[in-house]
Amino acid sequence: MGIFDSAKDKAAELNEQHGDKIEEHSDAGLDKAGEFAEGKGVGAEHVEKGRTAADGRIGSE
């Protein structure tokens, strides 16, 4: 087993143990990024579309 396999296994284990906290923090970060983007003039519909896509990639819901 290589170092990357070990890291992947450890990440999966941590996700199982702390998935709810990870989701909470990723959602907070995505919200903050969305607020920043809207403050720079990006339309709300584009921000929401991007946020949903990113949350689907990194979130558990």
- Residue 59: the pLDDT is 66
Report residue 3's pLDDT band, with 50, 70 and 90 as the boundaries. confident
Q: Is the pLDDT of residue 61 over 60?
A: no
Total length of the chain:
61
Report in angstroms the alpha-carbon separations of 4 from 25, 32, 58: 24, 31, 19
- What the block records as the tokens of 32 is 């903050």
In sequence order, which residues have a C-beta less than 8 Å from that of residue 60 and are 6 or more positions away?
Answer: 15, 19, 22, 23
- Residue 51: the pLDDT is 94
Q: Which of 25, 22, 37 is nearest to 49 (CA)?
A: 37
Q: For 6-58, what is each residue's pLDDT tens digit?
A: 999 998 898 889 988 988 999 999 999 999 999 999 999 999 999 999 998 88
